């Protein structure tokens, strides 16, 4: 199911002007988050990290291609650290990973992945499926939280790296509550915490 089809399916309980207004808001959000190049991949970007001589000050550092590749290879570990509340500015690799997480491309990709999770949870699993089984009962019980998180991911406002890391880690952790059928309550707690940390005011 496409993102557009998914949003339409979740607007079935709205009527009249309210439904049209909500549809227009979702359409604008999708347009603003449409996949597009982040810029020349070979061009170095600038990161701000804590000064090793004075942690109260930030200093600029060049984020070259080799550093971005290393941050990509260590993405799971870096995401867990960010999700646990470690400041992106505390290390060069965390800052590099955080820059990727908050990019429009990554936000759109995560939203699409969570949409796909909802679709898969309603589909009968194949007898021989190499994928890690989903916590279908937990996903269905907390569908409204997932929809709220998707809305936060596609909101044009800037998003804190910690919330993005939480949304990413939930998806990638095969032993986490998204896949463990015994941890439906934990899934709800994790989703609500991610939603809280996706609020732009959370990092203020």
Pair 96, 150: CB distance under 8 Å: no
Range in 13-17, 175-179, 185-189, 191-195 the model is least confident about: 13-17
pLDDT score of 28: 53
Bigger pLDDT: 105 vs 6: 105
pLDDT score of 84: 95
pTM of the model: 0.73
pLDDT score of 49: 72
- Provide the residue ranges of all domains of the chain, joining segments of one domain with +: 3-34+104-203, 45-75+85-101
């Amino acid at each position: 199911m496409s993102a557009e089809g998914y949003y339409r399916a979740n607007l079935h309980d709205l009527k009249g002007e309210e439904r049209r207004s909500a549809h227009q808001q979702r359409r604008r959000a999708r347009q603003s988050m449409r996949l597009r190049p982040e810029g020349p991949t070979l061009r170095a970007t600038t990161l701000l990290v804590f000064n090793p001589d004075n942690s109260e000050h930030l200093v600029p550092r060049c984020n070259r291609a080799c550093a971005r590749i290393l941050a990509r290879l260590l993405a799971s570990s870096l995401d867990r650290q960010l999700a646990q509340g470690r400041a992106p500015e505390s290390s060069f690799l965390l800052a590099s990973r955080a820059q990727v997480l908050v990019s429009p491309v990554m936000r759109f990709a995560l939203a699409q992945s969570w949409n796909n999770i909802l679709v898969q949870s309603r589909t009968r699993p194949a007898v021989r499926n190499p994928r890690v089984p989903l916590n279908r009962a937990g996903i269905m019980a907390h569908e409204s939280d997932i929809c709220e998180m998707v809305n936060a991911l596609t909101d044009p406002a800037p998003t804190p790296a910690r919330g993005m890391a939480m949304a990413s880690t939930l998806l990638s952790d095969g032993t986490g509550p998204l896949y463990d059928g015994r941890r439906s309550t934990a899934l709800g707690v994790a989703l609500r915490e991610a939603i809280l940390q996706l609020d732009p005011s959370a990092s203020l």
